[in-house]
Amino acid sequence: MSPEAHSTAIGPRGVAAAHGSTEQGHTGAHPPRLAHHFDSYAQQRESASLGVWVFLVTEIMFFGGLFTAYILYRSKYPEAFIAGSHQLDVMLGTINTAVLICSSLTMAMAVRSAQLGRSKAIAGFLVATIVLGSVFLGIKATEYHHKWVEHLIPGHDFHLEIDHLPTHHGKPVASELPSGVVGESRADVPLPSAGPQDIQAHTQLFFFLYFGMTGLHAVHMIIGVGLLVWLIRPSLRGMFDGNNHNYVEGIGLYWHFVDIVWIFLFPLLYLVGRHG
Amino acid sequence: MTAHSDFPAHSAFPEPIEEAPEPYEHYLNHKYGLASWLLTRDHKRIAILYLISVSFFFLLGGAMAVIIRLELTTPEGDLVQADIYNRLFTMHGIMMIFFFLIPSIPSVLGNFLIPIMIGAKDLAFPKINLLSWYIYAIGGLFTFYALLTGGVDTGWTFYAPLSTGYTNTPVVLVALGIFITGFSSILTGLNFIVTIHRMRAPGMTWFRLPLFVWSHYATSVIMILGTPVIAITILLLGAERIFGVGIFDPKLGGDPVLFQHFFWFYSHPAVYIMILPAMGVVSELIAAFTRKPVFGYHFVAFASIAIAVLGFFVWAHHMFVAGISVYAAAIFSALSMLVAIPSAVKVFNWTTTLYKGSISWDTPMLYALGFIGLFTIGGLTGVMLATLGIDIHVHDTYFVVAHFHYIMVGGAIMGYMGGLHYWWPKITGKLYPKFWSKVGALTIFLGFNVTFFPQFILGYLGMPRRYHAYPNEFQVLNVMSSAGATVLGLGYLIPAVYFIWSMRYGKDASANPWGAIGLEWETTSPPPVENFDKPPVVTWGAYEYHESRVQPSLPPPKQEVMRVT
Amino acid sequence: MPPAQGFLPNAPLFPPRASEMAREIDLLFFTTLGVTVFFSTLIAVLIFYFMVRYRRTSPTQVGVYQKGGSTGLLESTWIIGPLVIALGFFAWGARIFFAAARPPADAKQYYVIGKRWMWKIEHPSGRREINELHVPRGQAVKLKLTSEDVVHSFFLPVMRMKTDAIPGRYTTLWFNADTLGTFHLFCAEYCGTEHSRMVGRIIVMEPTEYERWIGGENMGGPSGVASGEDLFVAKACHTCHRTDSTARAPQLSGLIGKTVHLEGGQTVTADETYIRESIVNPATKVVAGYQPIMPTYRGQLSEEEIIQLIRYVGSLKQPTGVEPAPAGKAADRPAESPPSPNEGAR
Amino acid sequence: MSSTTHVLPLRVYFAIFFALLVLTGTTVAVAFVDLGPLNNVVALGIAACKATLVILYFMHVRYATRLTSLVIVSGVFWLAIMVGLTLADYATRGWLGVPGR
Ligand code: HEA
Ligand code: HEA
Ligand code: CUA
Ligand SMILES: [Cu+2]
């Protein structure tokens, strides 16, 4: 199953031994910041990185449930999803995407500095990442507030203002736009009489998914910011160098992952049926 | 050695290490006090913490099973009220599955043995290991608290919209308990995967790994890929219940069948979380008590992986009559047939291993052989359930109840008991009375069959499950089942008593009381804190029960190679 | 067929059966059971035999070391053998399952509503009963199931049939009873406190007797179709769904079974679930060429009333002379929607 | 299995960074152009490209072990199982023309 299965004749610790930094045992002096049960820095680092990656896979599946629900309901209620998406602010969404990409860059730089053992630089980039992350969360909070004011919180006095919907003049263009199972069908929602009642119920589903997905994402961001804050002190103390920067690297991987989730959330939530 | 009259010296393989100097330091006695347990990062002590907590939940779940069976002795439903009965089987299912069987073998035996079996000092992330126990305990406390306040009555499957809109029991509390415990499962799986990849001793190649380790690797894969889905499902369920949004509620445009998809996407693979570790145990036992290499090692190893992967493709076989499309039903039925094949491979390879073995009738082996037989019955009835035409009739009847108890009680628990009996001398350094352990094993086997065999017939007769009262003509079989359950319950008491007894009064175990091969038998019983006094280097494959192990002058066996024609 | 008697008079070991399908399912069941028994016995016998034959005789004894281990031949035998058997199960089971899913065209249509904790049943004639299902012998019967609250499951052990009743949708179960008698009806999907009391009886009668029974107590009460027609007027459906050319809404005659083209290019096959959705959530699937002006009737109609309306709509026959177009596109639709590129949109 | 870590030159990071920003701009711009069903394809395609860039360079997977790639691929694969088989049910509902089947 594993790629090493066939190639490695001896176990990973045997490989580590070949690199010469092993066999400290509990008799010899154990190197600083090498946990007692590891033989070498390489072993420790590779364990940590594999651990983080495996964890990120669980995160994929965690968000995956929401994505599945999203796909299903979007294909069931395309109009409602368009109507819901039009309630979101593309501008803010785009800015936030950019902010998050910047923060990924600063995070990557922090990891690089850690690899090079530059304590001050690590801390600097961490602070930059924290600031950018907080900006993202701030903007998100503003958006949430708007939704609250506009009664777009599902289950809580949800009400979709009719005149917020983009009105289309003239005949519906829908029939010119065939689409598949998973796909939006039309430019906008023509709004004569009773239709909106349904749209309203199903738009509530959209907003539930919106809050569910962005909310979980935000929770991950908050945890990430917390972890970054916690990292500042050890990095200033020079804890990290080429041998030992697992914490910076692991938290960095996590941060990038959260960025990737947003990369998918942004078009799925903000950009549905914008054209037309 | 000869002092242990209960366990005659199996001196086929000499004790690998000299008897330790009398009071020697091991993981149990190197520190004392509650804090040294609750703050430990030693995988062996954490395993003990798990052992205590899963046993607690087993007794709790078992106690509920006893009341369930008592209630079902009469058709009227007169012992407890319907509401209570519903809570009983729900909490029975939840405790047994989420808080007992899923963590049992991996977190107790796996935790204790994997590092030793691969020759490591500990799991890759000892702190996370401890954390996972705390998470488990907190989740357990939530659920236990919910139980004290009355428990939930949704069935362990939590189907919407019953669970989201109709019951007024503390669903969110229990759901939260399961959600939290899920993370403990994830962390355990993560730890195992990294440990197996990165912590193997020099010379411990993938195909020298004991099959126990392979099956735990497969289990861990399921844990990390499946468990997050139940977590998100539970979050959605909670959100729907608390905020009244309709992701599963048809009144608001949601779809109740989507809940079932999500739930079974986890819960079907989860049944393999429960059985794979037991299969790993059985592989160890069969090898040790036939003194033979497991027949078809590579096939058995890859069968574990195949089960883990294929197990994710079959979930909707729980939903054949739940309004899914017939085409989807057909796909899932066909895929369910495929997943039976790796199980078949295992069963046949184990049986063939017996051929020309040196078969000992020690207690662990009795459990292992019981496992094979009962798992075969349970598994084949599973295949019957996966057959579309049959499931229309027997879905949600006692046939299903019998199927899964055959696999989970007759299979997984037999494996767990066998493993406990096999490694108990290693874990505690004590021997238990041989006679009573055999009496216990036979009582459990008999009680088990009397309890659950009649349920197959009940199921085909059409008795639906989760029924608190039932038509008169089902009574005879139900009484039989209840009688069996009493025997079964008493059967479980026997090991409970002598295990506890042995911790104080049992004779000391030698390092290798069974004369078995494996790194865990090459260290003292109980093992020292960092598992080995000298870091081991592996030069043998697993189960190399070969004369050359005793007489080094003999040529070693050719490495077993996979030959596929 | 009397229930087979077990060793005790009131403890049958085999359930009664009353349809051809039940017999087929039993045959499949016993075949698979035979395979199960065969393999379980095989394994058990081998285990016991080896256990005794190769019992360890001295504490130092070692098993025979098998050089080279398993052979590809053996392993492929027990991979391919069970695979073939299991796929055989699958094929046979799937055949029955599909047959059980497709009701014959002449099946009489009943409606069943599950509600905690009772079954409400409506006969084709409009007669209603609770927890009892009277059916004529020798007549295919098709049940359209739905639920007012949670998921239930309509289970007739004697027919070896069950189907879940799901809120917001219709599901189908059919059977053709061939044996007279009274048998169990259960709710098989756990639905809350009194789940185990959501039980009843199915009574198979001679057709003549059934006619008498239907006529006998049905004291001129409105038949389902009649009251559906009343509702159609009372709820003002007819104001839009008219038959003349000024209609603002599509004509409903001959709707069931037709392929409907929707706004956005999708198509659906009109069935009960679709009609229900059109009434309760009309804007979800809008017929191509129409404005979504139909008001929602959510919360204004009970499940029974919805069923009345569906039955009424289903009873509206295609105006004679106008055959439904093969593509399912109704000739009376003014829609100019293009042929859809996508089939099977649901 | 490298035992020393791989330090990437700065320009790689900046190149990726700019590529990500450009792709973000593109995805927003394209969303306002009517491409029919292609809109979804483009939106998801761009997102996938961006994710791949982040994974390969910011997360160093290009320079990591094959095991790491295997872990990622299996994550995506299992997600596909979940989405694919669930939708396989919904997409085939009604093919038989019998409600609920
Ligand atoms: C440890 C737990 C466990 C395990 C391992 C299994 C294993 C299997 N299960 Fe089971 N199952 C459950 C626990 C488990 N199950 C539970 C808890 C439920 C009920 C859930 C609920 O609703 O509450 C359930 C329900 C359940 C259903 C749904 C029934 C219903 O509700 O209608 C189905 C249907 O397909 C099924 C099938 C199978 C199959 C095909 C296997 C296969 O993996 C079995 C494979 C094994 C063998 C086949 C035996 C060995 C093979 C041979 C000896 C060779 C000969 C083989 C052939 C000729 C095929 N199971
Ligand atoms: C690991 C899983 C597991 C285990 C071990 C068990 C163990 C047992 N189960 Fe359980 N069971 C489930 C998982 C499990 N069950 C699940 C998932 C369900 C479905 C729930 C649902 O529908 O939602 C279920 C449902 C279920 C039902 C169906 C209820 C219904 O549908 O109405 C029944 C009925 O007989 C039953 C019985 C038993 C019995 C007799 C045991 C015995 O093996 C228990 C034996 C153990 C003890 C008895 C405890 C130890 C001994 C003592 C404490 C001493 C005192 C006792 C005596 C002196 C008698 N179980
Ligand atoms: Cu209705 Cu159970
Ligand atoms: Cu299953």
From the candidate CATH numbers 1.10.760.10, 3.30.1340.30, 3.40.50.720, 1.10.1370.30, the one assigned to the domain spanning C228-315: 1.10.760.10
Across the strands, what pairs with C287? Answer: C262
In terms of residue numbers, what domain contains A181? 52-270
From the CA of B82, how far away is ligand 3's center (Å)?
Answer: 13
Q: Per the domain annotation, does B3 fall within a domain?
A: no
pLDDT along chain C (346 residues), means of 10: 49 88 95 96 96 87 69 86 96 94 90 90 85 92 91 95 92 93 94 92 92 67 63 78 71 79 77 81 77 75 80 70 38 37 34
Task: Name chain A contacts of D14, Cβ cutoff 8 Å.
Answer: 105
CB contact at 8 A, C92 and B387: yes
The helix/strand/coil state of B245 is coil
CB contact at 8 A, B117 and B520: yes
d(CA A212, CA C170): 30
Per-residue pLDDT of A8-29, as tens digits, reads 334 445 443 333 333 334 444 5
* Phi, psi angles (nearest 5°) of residue B15: -50, 125
- pLDDT given at position D92: 87
B78: contact with C, CB 8 A cutoff: no
Task: Name chain A contacts of C283, Cβ cutoff 8 Å.
Answer: 79, 194-199
Task: Name the DSSP class of B315.
Answer: G
Task: Name the DSSP class of B357.
Answer: -
Residues D36 and D69 in one domain: no
Residue type at C216 in one-letter notation: G
Residues D52 and D84 in one domain: no
Could you tell me the maximum CA-CA distance found in chain A, to the nearest angstrom? 85
Residue A59 belongs to domain with CATH number = 1.20.120.80
Q: Per the domain annotation, does B180 fall within a domain?
A: yes
Residues D75 and D87 in one domain: yes
In terms of residue numbers, what domain contains B348? 39-550
Domain count, chain A: 2
Q: Per the domain annotation, does A57 fall within a domain?
A: yes
CB contact at 8 A, B87 and B168: no
Taking residues A82-103, report their average pLDDT.
Answer: 91
Nearest alpha-carbon partner for A84 in D34, B245, B231: B245
Q: Ligand 1, closest atom to CA B155? A: 23
B486 lines ligand 2 (CB under 6 A): yes
Q: Per the domain annotation, does D46 fall within a domain?
A: yes
| Both tokens assigned to C215 | 């006529």
Residues D43 and D18 in one domain: yes
Q: What string of DSSP letters covers A56-67?
A: HHHHHHHHHHHH
Residues D18 and D52 in one domain: yes
Task: Name the DSSP class of C206.
Answer: -
Q: What interhelical angle do B211-243 and A41-76 show, nearest 10?
A: 40
Of all ligands present, the nearest one to the C-alpha of B320 is: 1
Residues D59 and D89 in one domain: no
Q: Per the domain annotation, does D87 fall within a domain?
A: yes
Residues D80 and D59 in one domain: no
Domain count, chain D: 2
Q: Per the domain annotation, does B23 fall within a domain?
A: no
Whose tokens are 């998406």? That residue is A85
Q: Where are the beta strands (DSSP E) in chain A?
A: none
CB contact at 8 A, C183 and C201: yes
Residues A30 and A67 in one domain: no
Q: Per the domain annotation, does D25 fall within a domain?
A: yes
CB contact at 8 A, A69 and B261: no
Residues D59 and D22 in one domain: yes
Do you know the residue count of chain B? 565
Task: Name the DSSP class of B293.
Answer: P
In terms of residue numbers, what domain contains D25? 8-63
Q: Per the domain annotation, does D3 fall within a domain?
A: no
Protein residue closest via CA to atom 9 of ligand 2: B65
Please give the model's pTM, rounded to 2 decimal places.
0.87
- pLDDT given at position C220: 43
Q: Per the domain annotation, does B557 fall within a domain?
A: no
Q: Per the domain annotation, does D56 fall within a domain?
A: yes
Q: Ligand 3, closest atom to CA B466? A: 2
B292: contact with C, CB 8 A cutoff: yes
pLDDT of chain B, 565 residues: tens digit per residue: 333 333 434 444 555 555 555 667 888 888 888 888 999 999 999 999 999 999 999 999 999 999 999 999 999 888 888 999 999 999 999 999 999 999 999 999 999 999 999 999 999 999 999 999 999 999 999 999 999 988 899 999 999 889 988 888 889 999 999 999 999 999 999 999 999 999 999 889 999 999 999 999 999 999 999 999 999 999 999 988 888 777 898 877 788 999 999 999 999 999 999 999 999 999 999 999 998 889 889 999 999 999 999 999 999 999 999 989 999 999 999 999 999 999 999 999 999 999 988 899 999 999 999 999 999 999 999 999 999 999 999 999 999 999 999 999 999 999 999 999 999 999 999 999 999 999 999 999 999 999 999 999 999 999 999 999 999 999 999 999 999 999 999 999 999 999 999 999 998 888 888 888 889 998 888 999 889 888 888 887 888 887 766 666 666 655 444 333 2
The helix/strand/coil state of C330 is coil
Task: Name chain D contacts of B392, Cβ cutoff 8 Å.
Answer: none
| Both tokens assigned to B221 | 């894969």
C-beta atoms of A56 and D4 within 8 A: no
Whose tokens are 């916690």? That residue is A230
Pocket test for ligand 1, best of B86, B385, B387 (most atoms within 8 A of CB): B385
Residues A122 and A210 in one domain: yes
Quick one: three-class SS letters along C214-257? HHHHCCCCCCHHHHHHHHHHHCCHHHHCCCCCCCCCCCCCCCCC
Cβ < 5 A residues, ion ligand 4: B 268
Residues A70 and A24 in one domain: no
Whose tokens are 């190639």? That residue is A7
Name the H helices within B72-158. 82-94, 102-103, 111-117, 126-148
Task: Name the percent of chain C in helix, strand, coil, to the closest 5.
Answer: 35, 20, 45
ipTM: 0.87
Q: Per the domain annotation, does B27 fall within a domain?
A: no
- pLDDT given at position B190: 96
In chain C, residues under CATH classification 2.60.40.420 are: 1-45+79-224
Q: Per the domain annotation, does D42 fall within a domain?
A: yes
Residues D80 and D36 in one domain: no
d(CA B280, CA B297): 12
Across the strands, what pairs with C165? Answer: C152
Q: Per the domain annotation, does A141 fall within a domain?
A: yes
Question: CB neighbours (10 Å) of residue B404?
Answer: 20
Q: Per the domain annotation, does A47 fall within a domain?
A: no
Domain C1-45+79-224, architecture per CATH:
Sandwich (2.60)
Per-residue pLDDT of A105-130, as tens digits, reads 999 999 999 888 888 899 999 999 99
d(CA C288, CA C345): 14
Residue from the list C166, C172, C268 with its beta carbon closest to the beta carbon of D101: C172
C-beta atoms of B358 and C63 within 8 A: yes
Per-residue pLDDT of C247-273, as tens digits, reads 677 878 778 777 888 876 777 878 888
Nearest alpha-carbon partner for B363 in B289, B437, B283, B280: B437
Domain count, chain B: 1
Residue B357 belongs to domain with CATH number = 1.20.210.10
CB contact at 8 A, B217 and A166: no
* Phi, psi angles (nearest 5°) of residue C263: -55, 135
Q: Per the domain annotation, does D101 fall within a domain?
A: no
CB contact at 8 A, C174 and C105: no
In chain C, residues under CATH classification 1.10.760.10 are: 228-315
The helix/strand/coil state of A261 is helix
Task: Name the DSSP class of C287.
Answer: B
Q: Per the domain annotation, does D40 fall within a domain?
A: yes
